[in-house]
Amino acid sequence: MRLYHFCVATMIILCCSCRKSAALVIPRNPNFDKGLPAQLKKGINLSNWFNDYSDPGQFATRFTTGHFTALKQLGFTYVRIPIGNTILFQPSSPSQLKAWNIGYVDSAVARANRSGLAVMINYHPGSDDYEKELYNDGSKIEELAAYWKAIAIYFKKYTSEQLVFEVYNEPHAAQISGASQTYTWWWPLQEKIVQAIRSVDNEHFIVVGNEGWNNITYLSKSQPYTEPGLIYNFHFYEPFVFTHQGAEWVGYPYTLLHDVPYPSSPENVKPLIDTSTNADVKNLLEWYGNYRYNGEKLYKLIKVAADWASRNKVALICNEFGAYKIHSQPADRARCITDMRTAIENLGIGWAMWECDEGFGLFYYNSNDRSKFLVDDAIKNALGL
């Protein structure tokens, strides 16, 4: 009997110490506890490179060393590269990344790094269909967790100064289905992914955000996770009437808006209201004018997120903000971006503008030759670069 007890006790001790040493095999990055990492101060989004709708013919070439060198010289510290949900993810075998695409993403990361820029890769579904599956079928999150574990294993060769992971762009399934648990459904699912990454990786920072397209209200109602090395994120597109004027993907009545002024006042929206024949547009503009949007108002809205982060002692970034240029007045757009960026920066929040060279862009082209990009000086100044 005594020998039996001794053996059982020894086995328990051995098991416990095995589990302990297994956890110690992955040492924790000491920079996890030092606030906002320097590489996440100033970023820009490289959209339409690896989005679901992007042309695979450009996977190798869309952003060149020339782009990265220019971005670095302008003063950016990182690029955020959205990776669509069909680019590397295979739902039937989620732990196997799509072999024919992973090399392109890998060389994109390496190319940016060689120019001295850190990279943030995020999971960025291009349509609501995928997210509806996640929302309606609780088991689907296991597939996404397996995908992220595979990503963490594949990208182990990069340091935390070179590469940052971001779990998911703008979850919003609960909000669009009118469900009540808008800011609670995504939080535990996201934690499963964080844990999947942390089971193999204690080196890289992980960016997390909440429902409502990563809005501030839902983030500031959230309880920070206990896992180490997390950076909390929100997106900021206020005033939406201005930043998304004419945006086709937003739909009616935003598609009808153009030349909306910023800052706003009842006086400066009046001419547009008078000439519009659409009642919804008139109402929207009236509301927008009465709100009197300006830099001070934007600062107050963003401060809600900053206060939440300082109360909870967590690092915070805003990795999407900006304004659509196609239907806005350039000077007003520059003013709005100046106010957004100044508020974000003054509140100690890291940022990334949406986006480098599409409809919300900083760069533009006068021909089809992507090596001949030009920089919009007004936006460069608005970004304080």
Minimum distance from CB of 279 to ligand BGC (Å)? 25
Which of 78, 235, 249, 251 lies closest to 168, judged by CA? 235
Between 172 and 198, CB nearer to ligand BGC: 172
Residue 19 backbone phi and psi in degrees, to 5: -60, -40
In whole angstroms, what is the distance from residue 317 CA to residue 359 CA? Answer: 22
Query: 3-state DSSP call for residue 185?
Result: coil
Q: Which residues in the 308-337 window bind ligand BGC by CB under 6 A? A: 320
Between 169 and 233, CB nearer to ligand BGC: 169
Minimum distance from CB of 58 to ligand BGC (Å)? 17
The total number of residues written for the chain in this structure: 385
| Helix or strand holding residue 128 (H, E) | helix 128-136
* CA-to-CA separations, 303 to 293, 298, 309, 342, 344, in angstroms, rounded: 15, 8, 10, 12, 8
Q: How many residues bind ligand BGC (CB under 6 A)?
A: 4
Between 29 and 85, CB nearer to ligand BGC: 85
Return all residues near 151 (Cβ < 8 A) that are at least 6 apart. 88, 97, 121, 165, 197
Q: Which residues in the 62-101 window bind ligand BGC by CB under 6 A? A: none
Over the window 164 to 193, marking each residue x when it contacts ligand BGC by CB under 6 A and - when it does not, the resulting string is: -----xx-----------------------
Between 162 and 233, CB nearer to ligand BGC: 233
With binding defined as CB under 6 A, does residue 147 bind ligand BGC?
no
With binding defined as CB under 6 A, does residue 227 bind ligand BGC?
no
Comparing every residue's Cβ against ligand BGC, the nearest one is: 170
Between 82 and 263, CB nearer to ligand BGC: 82
With binding defined as CB under 6 A, does residue 354 bind ligand BGC?
yes
Alpha carbon 305 to its chain centroid, in Å, reads 15
Residues forming the site for ligand BGC (CB under 6 A):
169-170, 320, 354
